[in-house]
Amino acid sequence: GIQVEQSPPDLILQEGANSTLRCNFSDSVNNLQWFHQNPWGQLINLFYIPSGTKQNGRLSATTVATERYSLLYISSSQTTDSGVYFCADSRGKLIFGQGTELSVKP
Amino acid sequence: ETGVTQSPTHLIKTRGQQVTLRCSSQSGHNTVSWYQQALGQGPQFIFQYYREEENGRGNFPPRFSGLQFPNYSSELNVNALELDDSALYLCASSLGGTANTEAFFGQGTRLTVV
């Protein structure tokens, strides 16, 4: 089955910094979702982005399905951005990466 | 629009016992998928229910079973609990079975087996 690799596994930022999280796939991307897992465990939908670029406030995402990757950009990071970010590809079921744990320091 | 809700939020069980977790799907959604998330890992697919039928299963033993009801809510049952079953169990709601539409998650049930 498809393998999903996220990088970096951990990231520490100062408040206000920008960051890029990456998701690589072993096969072409089908229907990609990005999630933020809050400290209580809930997965919050960030983007549903099979291809192209979308923006929502300080966050944006780009998926290049044919080149098997997706990027999540976080600009002007805030402490509330801390948590684990997951990408997942949908193939009848969601196949998740191992996540990127982001810590934003004040 | 009602979001995905799961109950209970936390649960402690003894090895060998049985547990039932519940999920109410988002309004208008007919598909429920269950995932197990061990500490420090990404969620792993357990199974999916679409229109009250199991519609795909991950690599989990038969003691993990489920149901979907006519209102599209769902239960996850785990028999003969093992210590390794301790995890966060997540329910996702979507539309259209394997049509790969956007999925929305509940807040999860944290199960501890002692």
Report the gap between the CA of A89 and the closest CA in chain B (Å): 9
- DSSP-derived letter for residue B52 is T
Q: How far apart are CA A62 and CA A52, in angstroms?
A: 6
Name the pLDDT band for B2 (thresholds 50, 70, 90): low
Look up residue B7 and give its two tokens: 């109950």
Nearest residue, CB atoms, B90 vs list A30, A43, A48? A43
Pairing of strands A59-64, A69-74: antiparallel
Q: For chain B, what is the mean pLDDT?
A: 94
Q: How far apart are CA B11 and CA B66, in angstroms?
A: 18
Question: Is residue B104 less than 8 Å (CB to CB) from chain A?
Answer: yes
Contacts of B45 in chain A (CB under 8 A): 93-95
Contacts of A5 in chain B (CB under 8 A): none
pLDDT digits (tens, 9 = 90+) for B29-47: 999 999 999 999 999 999 9
Looking at per-residue confidence, does B79 or B98 come out higher?
B79
Look up residue B98 and give its two tokens: 């394997």
pLDDT digits (tens, 9 = 90+) for A5-27: 999 999 999 999 999 999 999 98
pLDDT digits (tens, 9 = 90+) for A34-71: 999 988 899 999 999 999 999 999 999 999 988 999 99
Q: How far apart are CA A47 and CA A95, in angstroms?
A: 15
CB atoms under 10 Å from CB of B24, counted, come to 21
Q: Do B108 and A41 touch (CB under 8 A)?
A: yes
pLDDT at A98 over 60: yes
CB-based contact B22:B74 (threshold 8 Å): yes
